[in-house]
Copies of this chain bind each other. A is one copy, B any other.
Amino acid sequence: MRYVCDACDTIHYQNPKIVAGCIPTLNNRLLLCQRAIEPRYGLWTLPAGFMENGESTEQAAVRETQEEACATVENLELYCVFSIPHISQVYMMFRASLASEDFKPGRESLDVRLFQEHEIPWNDLAFPVVKTTLEHYFIDARSNCFPVHVENIHRHPARQR
């Protein structure tokens, strides 16, 4: 089944979408955004969003971080590539350096804060992909070695029943 324009027969293919984002870090702390939009209003997430036409994956991650946290990031390094087949999304998450402490909530965020590892709100993270990314990050940070993680993320456990 495909969407086809009745007037010109253009086929609108439905392909997986790329969600690009990053882990902005500064002096052993990392930046999370509290969502001001549904789904998962009020929960915490890494800055990320749909890549747009004409961008590179890094540019999309930089733009989303600017939009959601009014923050500037640099030195991006690809870190996680997560396929989420049941919603046809591919997350591409980069490690990134936060340029300064000059940030504030964008229109889609209630709050933006820097967290040390022991301060991470593990029970109030918005998406499984955010939890998995952060878990990898803190483990890899101990050895200061950050291989690219390529994984599949399946349906949220609470919704598998």
Contacts and interface: CB of A to CB of B under 8 A. Distances in A.
Interface of A: 3, 5-7, 10, 12-18, 50-59, 77-78, 81, 83, 85-86, 88, 90, 92, 148, 150, 152
A89 to B, nearest CB: 10
Given A78-B150, A81-B81, A16 B90 contact: no
Q: Copy number of this protein in the oligomer? A: 2
- Which of A6, A13, A14, A56 neighbours the largest number of chain B CB atoms within 10 Å of its CB? A56
Nearest to A149: B78
A6 B17 CA distance: 24
A16 B51 contact: yes
Contact of A14 (B53, B85, B86, B88): B53
Contacts of A17: 13, 15
A14 B85 CA distance: 19
A57 B81 contact: yes
Contacts of A150: 57-58, 77-78
